[in-house]
Amino acid sequence: MEALTKKLVEAFGPCGFEDEVRDLIREEVAPYADEIEVDQMGNLYALKRGDGSGLKVAIAAHMDEIGLIATHITEEGFVRFTNLGFIIPHTLMGARVRFADGTLGVVSRDKARFVADMDKMPGVDQHFIDVGASSRDNCPVKIGTPGVIWQTMEVQGSRWIARCHDDRIGCVIGVEALKRLAETPHDVYFVFTVQEEVGTRGAATAANRIEPDVAIAVDVTPASDVIEGFPMQMKLGDGPGIKIKDMGMIAHQGLARLMQRRAEEAGIPYQPEVLLVGSTDARAMQIAGPGSAAGAISIPNRYTHTTSEVVDAADVENSVRLLVEILSKPIAL
């Protein structure tokens, strides 16, 4: 899984421009899926058929990552930009950017050398990207060109450090669960969604299409075990979170209990998750079409939405195991 994670987190896929990620995932799932489809927004569906006795289950992980898009090229050839999804401005200074055409850039901010301004945090619009151009005319980036903050993945012990575990790690877990899922009573749609970071847009249309009975998102959640971390209990390495509630939804409590029971039966560590900020694709799938019983498996992730997000390999492995446990057994709600 480490190799697949590296491949996926080093792929380009800001909201609305997920093609590269989709191609990679498609290659991975093709040998294991009974059916593969891509819809008009770019959601990828890999269907694993059940024996006919179970439910229609959607497992959603989003392919998109937060990114940026050029809004103006200055006379000197610097690129102004706006965010695609929630970029924390503090993470921008000195970050590297990769644009859709491969152009690399470095981010700085207006008045960067004025120490007096250091304690003020300028917005995204007061940053610019240097792509090595010297004028508007020779700047390879045009207004409307999308980009991402660029970093390679590094591994240190059990910790995987990468720029967009949110939510490529969910994609990895989905792919791996499909590979390991030998038999299932359910028709399981592994959905790799688009445009989550701009408002769970892909998942809504995907749920309208599939009309699942059960929808489970696999996404990251902020690990709170750092100095003055989030006011929640979520420790890196202590097992996947099982969603009780977040800002966008209340999980189906019967489903949440069933997920906990499956974890306990299989001896998989887990953490009940109550998240005060943010939500996942499950929120959209819960209320799309005729509605579904929705929940989420949440991978503890330190420094979410920064250039160096950190997950623990054990949590990744346990998330896959939990997902396979849930999917290979009956789901009675």
- Give the footprint of other proteins on this chain (CB under 8 A): 15-17, 19, 22-23, 26, 38-43, 69-75, 80, 82, 84, 142-144, 195, 198, 201-202, 204-206, 208-209
Q: Examine residue 167 and tell whether it contacts Zn ion (CB under 5 A).
A: yes
**Complex with other proteins: residue 80 or 180, whichever CB lies closer:** 80
68 vs 121: CA distance, rounded Å: 18
Asked whether the beta carbons of 70 and 60 are under 8 A apart, the reply is no
Question: Residue 328 belongs to what H/E stretch?
Answer: helix 313-328
Give 21 or 311: the residue with its C-beta nearer to other proteins.
21
Over the window 127 to 166, marking each residue x when it contacts Zn ion by CB under 5 A and - when it does not, the resulting string is ---------------------------------------x
- Asked if 220 and 301 count as a contact pair (C-beta separation under 8 A), the reply is yes
**Residue count of the chain:** 333
Nearest distance in Å: CB 240, other proteins = 29
196 is catalytic: yes
Least gap, CB of 222 to other proteins (angstroms): 24
Q: Nearest CA to 15 among 45, 42, 44, 46?
A: 42
Measured from the CB of residue 136, what is the shortest distance to other proteins in angstroms? 9
Which of 213, 219, 312, 315 touches Zn ion (CB under 5 A)? 219
Cβ-contact 108, 127 below 8 angstroms: yes
213 binds, among Zn ion, other proteins, none (CB under 5 to 8 A by kind): none
**Shortest distance (Å) from residue 4 CB to Zn ion:** 18
Residue 16 or 54 with smaller CB distance to other proteins: 16
Taking the complex as a whole, the smallest distance from the CB of residue 145 to other proteins amounts, in Å, to: 9
Rounded CA separation 318/240 (Å): 7
Considering beta carbons, is residue 65 or 315 the nearer one to other proteins? 65
Active-site residue, selected from the candidate residues 10, 28, 176, 196: 196
Please tell me what DSSP assigns to residue 14. Answer: B
**CA 266 – CA 280 distance, rounded (Å):** 26
Strands (E), the chain: 35-38, 44-48, 56-62, 67-73, 79-84, 96-99, 104-109, 127-130, 146-150, 154-156, 159-162, 187-193, 214-222, 241-245, 271-274, 293-301, 309-312
- Would you call 273 helix, strand, or coil by DSSP? strand
Q: Which is nearer to other proteins, 68 or 327 (CB)?
A: 68
The residue nearest Zn ion at its CB is 167
Residues near Zn ion (CB under 5 A) are: 166-167, 219
Query: Annotated catalytic sites, by residue?
Result: 196
